[in-house]
Amino acid sequence: MKLDVLAIAAHPDDVELTCGGTLLKMAQKGYRTGILDLTAGEMGTRGTPETRAKEAGKAARILKVSWRGTLGVPDSDVQPARQHKMRLAAQIRELRPHTVILPYWEARHPDHYHASTLGYEGCFLAGLKQLALDGEPFRPFKILYATSFEGMPASFIVDITKQYEARRRAILAYGSQFRPGKSERKQKVFLAIDQLDARMDLMARHYGQMIGVRYGEPFLQKELMAVEDVVALPVRSI
């Protein structure tokens, strides 16, 4: 297995919400894409791990990913612990992704910022020749951070206008998270589906507007972008 793009995140549905449109767009370009959920989302208030696995499978089909797996880190206890890093490194050696998308390194939910660190350190370890781990040493070429929900300045934005509707369906595939059962409808804890829909639309439009398109997804990279041709730069200035 050799992936072009692998998105890693803490919980099933995180990737759909932050970079689902970009993953689909890359698959449509012919790249092999994948999603690695660090946990099975078993601490979620709603839905069993089995339901979430089914929903994750459906979302993966909508986003046309070539591979989706779960690392088996305990939900709500994502940490850059040695054993998790080693498992992740083994997975990276198997999947050999050219580009890895991680969550941004600051977040409200500890699982999200720990997922960022765990992801980075797992990718680093995977390249160490002396590591007592099976598989050929390998390090991804590029690491990108998905910043949708953190409001951080992005390095670039991907136009996902043509992918937005499918991304929306992939997110709504997680029915157990967003569709209240009868007994839950009056509770305040539920992020009702119409609110989620409105919020997704607002975020994607906000970022799309910054590059002059309808819908966008923002990313940050630690390196600067190299440019060959300043005449071919997209996005109008005035």
Please, which residue, 113 or 219, has the CB nearer to Zn ion? 113
Q: How many residues does the chain have?
A: 238
Please, which residue, 113 or 215, has the CB nearer to Zn ion? 113
Least Å distance between CB 84 and Zn ion?
16
DSSP 133-161: -SS-----SEEEEE-TTTTPPPSEEEE-T
Residue numbers of the site for Zn ion (CB under 5 A)? 10-11, 14
Least Å distance between CB 233 and Zn ion?
34
Question: Which residues, 6+ apart, have CB-to-CB distance to 210 below 8 Å?
Answer: 157, 216
Please, which residue, 10 or 196, has the CB nearer to Zn ion? 10
Phi and psi (nearest 5°) for 69? -145, 170
Least Å distance between CB 187 and Zn ion?
20
Q: Which residue is nearest to Zn ion (CB)?
A: 11
Please, which residue, 37 or 94, has the CB nearer to Zn ion? 37
Please, which residue, 20 or 125, has the CB nearer to Zn ion? 20
What tokens does 83 get? Answer: 């054993």
> Residue 74's CB: how many other CB atoms inside 10 A?
14
- For 126, half-sphere exposure in the C-beta direction (CA atoms, 13 angstrom radius) is 25
Question: Which residues, 6+ apart, have CB-to-CB distance to 203 below 8 Å?
Answer: 148, 149
Least Å distance between CB 174 and Zn ion?
11
Least Å distance between CB 64 and Zn ion?
22
